């Protein structure tokens, strides 16, 4: 089969991905074989390509957000019929025995395996995965809209589900691939949503996506003006920024959850102690939670805003992501591999 392969980590400017022919995978016992239609592109791909994540396998085919069609199955795999429309997410398989797996929090497994990171992902014509980690895709979505839900969708849905109830005032820090999904899902949950962004030019987009308000964080005195405004803050930003400023925007007993992986920054105890605030983090979601997210988004007409690209432009897409030049997720049309 044709695939876009990462031989070794390197800066994106060196175009480390190459087109090649590799043996088509065959489903083992309990696995399904999926013909890939679309694959999302995200910052996790960048981290893998540039070597910021320690990989257990080299070379590797990137791509953790796959939507396609079931074409076969291994022995004992009977969940999906041939032709079923399915998705494969970042979480590929886990040990199934640790306390996290037994409680439905497979995303926190002691020994996880990640699609496009430790096992081959979706920059290819075919992929295999354990049938319990394959998700039926609701008819409400087109394939290209559904793919980013398996990354940005579950990454934002999981913490919002834990902390947000109708009528709560929440803020989403950053309006990118994660942030735009945070806005849509937060609104669908009945929250009052404010976008906090250092880019004033994103105001119109924030309101178009459903935000109730927009605050430009670069304005003078903004953190003092809006102190103690929010019950919950979802921080999606991967660039370095001062968490202390944003914690000050929380009310008493408020919570801020990080889903963007930013460079380390100093954290003061005072913003947490003085108002009993909490700072936490969240990583994707378990199997049941991921399917719940897909069903929730289908029910509430929530889908990703995407820019579909041929796979020949994936390196260009990486460079554009570094410049925040995407509205709001790149998705690869895998049919373009035939021209690779």
Q: What is the pLDDT of residues 229-251, one digit of tens each?
A: 999 999 999 989 999 999 999 99
CA distance 210 to 94: 36
Q: What is the pLDDT of residues 87-100, one digit of tens each?
A: 999 999 999 999 99
Supply the pLDDT for residue 121.
95
Which residue's structure tokens are 């914690």? 247
Give yes or no for a contact between 6 and 17, defined as CB atoms under 8 angstroms apart: yes
Supply the pLDDT for residue 15.
63
Q: What is the pLDDT of residues 311-328, one digit of tens each?
A: 999 989 999 998 889 999
CATH numeric code, 2-151+304-339: 3.90.180.10
- In the chain the beta strands, taken as DSSP E runs, fall at 2-6, 17-21, 31-41, 66-73, 85-88, 91-93, 113-114, 126-130, 134-136, 169-173, 192-197, 213-216, 230-235, 250-258, 278-281, 306-310, 329-333
Indicate the domain borders of the chain: 2-151+304-339, 153-281
pLDDT at 340 over 70: no
Of 2-6, 137-141, 277-281, least confident by mean pLDDT is: 2-6
Give yes or no for a contact between 118 and 277, defined as CB atoms under 8 angstroms apart: no
More confident residue, 81 or 60: 81
More confident residue, 46 or 81: 81
> What does pLDDT average to over the chain?
94
pTM for the complete prediction?
Answer: 0.95
Supply the pLDDT for residue 50.
81
CA distance 19 to 315: 12
Matching CATH number, 153-281, of 3.20.20.450, 3.10.129.10, 3.40.50.720, 3.40.50.150: 3.40.50.720
Mean pLDDT of all residues in 23-32:
97
The distance from CA 265 to its chain's CA centroid, rounded to whole angstroms, is 23
């Amino acid at each position: 089969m044709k695939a876009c392969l990462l031989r070794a980590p390197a800066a994106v400017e060196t175009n480390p991905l190459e087109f090649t022919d590799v043996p088509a995978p065959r489903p083992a016992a309990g696995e399904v074989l999926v013909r890939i239609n679309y694959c999302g592109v995200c910052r996790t791909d960048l981290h893998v390509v540039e070597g910021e994540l320690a990989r257990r396998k080299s070379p590797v085919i990137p791509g953790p957000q796959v939507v396609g069609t079931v074409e076969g199955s291994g022995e004992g795999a009977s969940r999906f019929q041939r032709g079923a429309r399915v998705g494969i997410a970042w979480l590929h398989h886990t040990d199934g025995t640790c306390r996290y797996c037994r409680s439905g929090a497979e995303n926190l497994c002691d020994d996880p395996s990640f699609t496009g990171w430790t096992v081959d992902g979706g920059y290819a014509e075919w992929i295999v995965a354990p049938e319990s980690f394959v998700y039926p895709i609701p008819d409400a979505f087109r394939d290209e809209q559904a793919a980013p839900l398996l990354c940005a969708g579950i990454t934002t849905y999981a913490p919002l589900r834990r902390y947000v109830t109708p009528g709560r005032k929440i803020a989403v820090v950053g309006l990118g691939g994660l942030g735009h999904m945070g806005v849509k899902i937060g609104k669908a949950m009945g929250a009052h949503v404010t976008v906090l962004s250092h880019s004033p030019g994103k105001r119109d987009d924030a309101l178009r996506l459903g935000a109730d308000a927009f605050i430009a964080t670069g304005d003078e005195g903004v953190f003092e003006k809006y102190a103690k405004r929010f019950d919950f803050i979802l921080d999606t930003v991967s660039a370095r920024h001062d968490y202390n400023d944003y914690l000050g925007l929380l009310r008493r007993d408020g919570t801020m959850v990080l889903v963007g992986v930013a460079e380390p920054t100093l954290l003061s105890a005072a913003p947490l102690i003085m108002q009993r605030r909490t700072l936490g983090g969240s990583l994707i979601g378990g199997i049941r939670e991921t399917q719940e997210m897909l069903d929730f988004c289908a029910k509430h007409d929530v889908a990703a805003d995407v820019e579909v690209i041929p796979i020949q432009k994936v390196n260009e897409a990486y460079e554009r992501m570094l410049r925040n030049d995407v509205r709001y997720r790149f998705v690869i049309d895998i049919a373009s591999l035939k021209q690779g």
